[in-house]
Structure 1
Amino acid sequence: MFPITKVIEKAMLPIGRRPTIDYIVRECAAAGVHEVAIVVRRGSTQIQGYYGDDTELRALLGRRGWAEKAHALDELATVPSITFVEQDPEDRYGTAVPVMLARDFIADDAFYFLSSDDLLVEPPGQSTLAELGRDAGDGSGYALVGQPSPASSLDRYGRLETAETDGRLHLTDLVEKDAVAARFDGGKVLINISRYAFPGQFLHVLAAVGEHEESGEYRLTDGLVEILGSTPISVTVGRGSYFDLGNEQGLAEASRHVVVGRQ
């Protein structure tokens, strides 16, 4: 998304009238989450400013008689309690790093982990995230979301291999981006869209994860692979509409979906 992200943080790019991060935060709220930590780049201010109160703006709206816009400010406050955690861009890199930086926030509690690059739009009253928490044993186990996707997408997303036991899916393998998608014969597969439910003890697993030899990243999925086989990991099938916000096409498609759905 560069160079627009030179001045606008990627999580603040708009989908309709809201920034992408707000859809993620409200997805958490719909699942019953009361506390959220957002890991931001050191020196970040835009997300904090969006959720913070602005008394001068409120006063201006009052003087101009723009009550509807003032109500929109009130609605911004109807989110879970948010804690901001800074990440030094010069420090380690990878999907495991934000979780480790939030370890004081997490403590020993069970937690969800979501990436703001991945948007799952669901009908009102439906929550894949809440189902994910239940599949994880309400805090005692591990679960992740597998989103049905055409096999042709496997060069861009991690693939989940599963087995069914007693009517429930469990992870048997987690394959990183697969460039040989053709062998899946054009069918549907489950891809990893970075929605997880973990017990607090997963922090100890991640602490032992080293730098990936090829990418140099500290990958959260390496922690999952480490326990795979010894620890059951449930797979919850995503039932909403998925959009990859890491590219301009996905952002445009998400905007069309949200705006048209609101009309």
Structure 2
Amino acid sequence: MTTAITKVVFPVAGLGTRFLPATKAIPKEMLPVADQPLIQYAVQEAQQAGITEFIFVTNPTNRAILESHFGANDALESMLLERGKTAELKIVAETTLPEGQVKFCYQDEPLGLGHAVWCAREFVSDGSFAVVLPDDLIMAKTGCLKQMVDVYARFGGNVVAVEEVPRDLTSRYGILDVDQDDGEIVSAKGLVEKPAPEDAPSTLSIIGRYILDGRVFGHLDKKVTGAGGEIQLTDAISATIGEVPFHGLRFDGTRFDCGSMNGFVEANVAFGLERSHHESDLRSYLKSHL
């Protein structure tokens, strides 16, 4: 038996130093890709997967901006209504989350992803929940998290999104030690955080989507540091192997690493072409510069 996944954690307390000065005054998650911020894509993906409770692990400065974005803006809505801008009014209404669905908690120190998830324990420790890293933007007809929820419904336990990476890049990711692999769903017997290429058990890496059994908190509570001196979420997941099933999903979609400048620009091009009302003009412009 599995329970419905209704809660998601967004770890968004980072300072976004790789994007300074753009992130001097706004959170990295509010940087726009095409016509909406990264965090909006993440929330929409979670909503498509049936999520109804959204937990943001953040800091006081970022919280105020996120609250403003996802909260109601009566003055703006009244102005749009008066001017007959019904399409824009619908867009604004769709970004507003009901107050009861939004929770905030703080990560006071940058102690790693495992620590960020641990900070949300009071909201999610009573069952399985999702974790979405907005930096990993995924273009997919069916959202990546919805695909993972379907896998979770079959197997339960912990489910992660995975993709192949070049062996010389394994030291950047959590890498699965594969037990069985049918080409789509992988059963793993182990997990190694940021292994050297010669030590990596495979080249199958976790990207920023997780469905986690609440038992990971039994290991996160110990606050054991791992690679980089941080509290690693992958270490806690690895420690539950044998207690709960652990599967990786080769999701159907394209991932953009928006934590890097190249990935961010690539995402803007891809989503710009998909969402633009003048796609042919944009395509022609790009062709003229390549």
- The reply to whether TM is greater than 0.5 is yes
The reply to whether residue 23 of structure 1 matches residue 41 of structure 2 is yes
Contact 1:112 1:196 in 2 (8 A): yes
Using a 3 Å threshold, how does the CA distance of structure 1 residues 128 and 101 change in structure 2: closer, same or farther?
same
* Equivalent residue number for residue 154 of structure 1: 170
* Equivalent residue number for residue 5 of structure 1: 23
Percent identity over the alignment is: 27
The reply to whether residue 40 of structure 1 matches residue 58 of structure 2 is yes
C-alpha deviation, 1:208, in angstroms: 2.0
Contact 2:177 2:191 in 1 (8 A): yes
C-alpha deviation, 1:133, in angstroms: 2.6
C-alpha deviation, 1:240, in angstroms: 0.7
Cα distance in structure 2, aligned partners of 1:47 and 1:247: 22
Contact 2:167 2:197 in 1 (8 A): no
C-alpha deviation, 1:243, in angstroms: 0.8
* Equivalent residue number for residue 221 of structure 1: 234
Measured against aligned partners, the alpha-carbon deviations of 1:207-254 in whole angstroms (never above 9, x if no partner) come to 124133x62311111112223355431111122100111111111111
C-alpha deviation, 1:75, in angstroms: 2.1
Cα distance in structure 1, aligned partners of 2:99 and 2:271: 22
Measured against aligned partners, the alpha-carbon deviations of 1:9-62 in whole angstroms (never above 9, x if no partner) come to 000000011100111111111111121212111232112111111111122223
Alignment length (residue pairs): 256
* Equivalent residue number for residue 257 of structure 1: 270
The reply to whether residue 175 of structure 1 matches residue 188 of structure 2 is no
SS in 2 for 1:204: helix
Using a 3 Å threshold, how does the CA distance of structure 1 residues 228 and 80 change in structure 2: closer, same or farther?
farther
Contact 1:92 1:218 in 2 (8 A): no
TM-align CA RMSD = 2.9
* Equivalent residue number for residue 250 of structure 2: 237
Give the TM-score normalised by structure 2: 0.78
The reply to whether residue 198 of structure 1 matches residue 212 of structure 2 is yes
Using a 3 Å threshold, how does the CA distance of structure 1 residues 81 and 116 change in structure 2: closer, same or farther?
farther
The reply to whether residue 128 of structure 1 matches residue 141 of structure 2 is no
Give the TM-score normalised by structure 1: 0.85
Cα distance in structure 2, aligned partners of 1:102 and 1:157: 23
Cα distance in structure 1, aligned partners of 2:178 and 2:100: 35
Contact 1:28 1:129 in 2 (8 A): yes
* Equivalent residue number for residue 66 of structure 1: 85
Which amino acid is the alignment partner of residue 224 of structure 2? G
Using a 3 Å threshold, how does the CA distance of structure 1 residues 138 and 22 change in structure 2: closer, same or farther?
farther
Which amino acid is the alignment partner of residue 193 of structure 2? E
Contact 2:81 2:89 in 1 (8 A): yes
Using a 3 Å threshold, how does the CA distance of structure 1 residues 199 and 176 change in structure 2: closer, same or farther?
closer
Using a 3 Å threshold, how does the CA distance of structure 1 residues 109 and 52 change in structure 2: closer, same or farther?
same
Using a 3 Å threshold, how does the CA distance of structure 1 residues 86 and 98 change in structure 2: closer, same or farther?
same
Q: How does 1:136-147 map to 2 (within 5 A)?
A: 136-137=152-153, 140-147=156-163
Contact 2:71 2:97 in 1 (8 A): no
